[in-house]
Amino acid sequence: MAKPVTTLSEFIIEREKDFPYATGDLSQLLTSIRLAAKLVNREVNKAGLVNEILGETEQHSVNVQGERQQKLDVYANERFINAMRNQGAVCAVASEENDDHIVFNNPTSASGKYVVAIDPLDGSSNIDVNVSIGTIFSIYRRLDPGKVTVEDFLQPGNRQVAAGYVVYGSSTMLVYTTGNGVNGFTLDPSIGVFCLSHPNMRIPGDGKIYSVNEGNYFDFPANVRDYIDACKRRKFSARYIGSLVADFHRNLLKGGIYMYPGTTSKPNGKLRLVYEGNPLALLAEQAGGAATDGRTRILDIKPAQLHQRVPLFIGSPAMVEEVMQA
Ligand code: AHM
Ligand code: MG
C-alpha cells in the first residue's frame, strides 16, 4: 500500500494543535505564503516561454489573458504582498523590492498580529538563465497593537516567530520553521499540492562543500582567504550557484558552508540582514547549524536599518566555527 502523504495544509493544522492558545493567525499566514509560492512557481516555470517565445519582455506588454507582463521579481513581490494584504494576520510587509515597509490599512488587516519581511525572488541574476531561484520570508509579532513602525522589522532575528524559504529548483520546495525544527515540503505539480518530503531536517555537523564567490578572493579578509585555502588543501568541493536559497538548501541537505564575507570595498558584503540573513539563520540553527557575521551570531544582531547588509557565514556548525577561528 502506498505510504500516506501529509500535505502542507494538513501539517500546518496539525502543528497548530501543539500551541493550545493559538488563534490560527499564523496558520492562516503560512497558508497565504503557500498560495503565493504556487503562483510564483507557475510563472517561474514558464519564464523562458514568456520572454523568449511569446516575446513579452517589455514592461508594459500584455499577455494572452490580457494581463500585463512584468518582470518576475516584481510579479513575485506583488503576489506575496497581495496574498497577505487581505487575510487578516499581517499588518505590514517589508520587501527587498520596496524602499519602505508597507502598512495594510484595510479593516481586515490593520489589526493583524504579525509583520513579514520578504525577499520575494532571490538570486535575480539567475532568473533569465533557468537556474534555481528562491523566496525568503521572516515573520515577527508586531511590537505595539496601536501602531506599526519600521521598528517592528528591526527586531533581532532571535525574536522571529517563523521563517522559511521556497526554492524554485529542479523541483519546488517550501521549507519552514516555527522555532520547533525545520520541515520541507515538495510541490507535486500534478496536483498542485506541497507534500511533506523532508520531515525534521538536520544539517550535518560538518561538511565538505564550500560556497563562496571566489572572484572576490583578493578582497576578502585574511582569515577568510586562509579558510578557503584550507578547504582547497583538503580538496573540498566548491559549489556556488549564486542563489543564496539554492546554495543554502544544498548545504542544509549535504553539509557545507555558504559565505558572503565583507570585501575591501563593501565591508558588510552584499546580503541583507532582515530578509536574507535572519530567516536563513533561524532555519540553520533550528536544523542544528550555525550562522554568524564572522564575530556575532546573526540572530543576536539588532538591525539598525531595513535594508542593512551583513557578512554571512552559514551552514554546518563545525565549518562556521572553523572560519571564525581562522
Ligand atoms: P539579490 O537579492 O539581488 O538576488 O542578491 C542576492 C544574491 C544571492 O542569492 C546570491 O548568493 C548572491 O546574491 C550572489 O552574489 P554575487 O553575484 O556577488 O556572488
Ligand atoms: Mg536577495
pLDDT band of residue 58 (cuts 50, 70, 90) is low
Listed range (23-27, 96-100, 289-293, 305-309) with the worst mean pLDDT: 23-27
Greater confidence (325 vs 16) lies with: 325
Residue nearest to atom 6 of ligand 1 (CA): 123
Q: What percent of the chain has pLDDT over 70?
A: 93
With the most atoms of ligand 1 within 8 angstroms of its CB, the residue from 44, 73, 122, 241 to mutate is 122
How much is the mean pLDDT over the chain?
Answer: 91
Which tens digits make up the pLDDT trace of 140-172?
999 999 899 999 999 999 999 999 999 999 999
- Residue 87's pLDDT is 86
8-198 is a CATH 3.30.300.10 domain: no
**Has residue 55 got a pLDDT over 50?**
no
**DSSP-assigned letters across all residues of 82-146:** HHHHTSSSEEEEEETT-SS-EE--STTTTT-SEEEEEEEEE-GGGGGGT--EEEEEEEEE-SBTT
pLDDT band of residue 107 (cuts 50, 70, 90) is confident
Residue with cell 523568449: 52
Q: How far apart are CA 294 and CA 159, in angstroms?
A: 21
What are the residue ranges spanned by the domains of the chain? Answer: 8-198, 209-325
Task: Give residue ranges with CB within 6 A of ligand 1.
Answer: 96, 119, 122-125, 213, 242-244, 247, 270
pLDDT band of residue 57 (cuts 50, 70, 90) is very low
> 231: how many CB neighbours lie within 10 A of its CB?
22
User: What number of H helices and E strands is found in the chain?
Assistant: 8, 13
Query: Is the distance from CB of 102 to CB of 213 less than 8 angstroms?
Result: no
Task: Tell me how far CA of residue 305 lies from CA of 81, 94, 151, in angstroms.
Answer: 21, 12, 9
Which atom of ligand 1 is least distant from the CA of 124? 4
DSSP code of residue 67 = P
Which atom of ligand 1 is least distant from the CA of 271? 6
Q: Is 169 helix (H, G, I), strand (E, B) or coil?
A: coil
**Closest by alpha carbon to 243, among 256, 227, 260, 226?**
260
* Mean pLDDT across 37-58: 72
Q: Is 192 helix (H, G, I), strand (E, B) or coil?
A: coil
According to DSSP, the β-strands at 237-238 and 209-211 are parallel
Q: Distance from the CA of 44 to the center of ligand 1, in angstroms?
A: 18
Residue with cell 549535504: 254
Q: If you average pLDDT over each of 25-29, 205-209, 322-326, which comes out highest?
A: 205-209
Residue 265: Cβ-neighbour burial (10 angstroms; 0-12, 13-18, 19+): exposed
Residue nearest to atom 7 of ligand 1 (CA): 123
Residue 54: Cβ-neighbour burial (10 angstroms; 0-12, 13-18, 19+): middle
**Closest by alpha carbon to 210, among 158, 259, 262?**
259
Q: Which three cell numbers stand for residue 220?
A: 576578502
Which tens digits make up the pLDDT trace of 307-318?
999 999 999 999
Q: What is the dihedral of CA 281, 282, 285, 289, to 10 degrees?
A: -30
According to DSSP, the β-strands at 257-260 and 312-315 are antiparallel
Q: Distance from the CA of 23 to the center of ligand 1, in angstroms?
A: 37
- Residue 1's pLDDT is 66
Residue nearest to atom 15 of ligand 1 (CA): 242
Q: How far apart are CA 326 and CA 319, in angstroms?
A: 11
pLDDT band of residue 59 (cuts 50, 70, 90) is low
Which atom of ligand 1 is least distant from the CA of 125? 4
**Has residue 54 got a pLDDT over 80?**
no
Residue nearest to atom 11 of ligand 1 (CA): 244
Which tens digits make up the pLDDT trace of 214-231?
999 999 999 999 999 999
Q: What percent of the chain has pLDDT over 90?
A: 79
Residue nearest to atom 17 of ligand 1 (CA): 242
Amino acid identity, position 61: S
Q: How far apart are CA 95 and CA 151, in angstroms?
A: 15
Please state which CATH number belongs to domain 209-325: 3.40.190.80
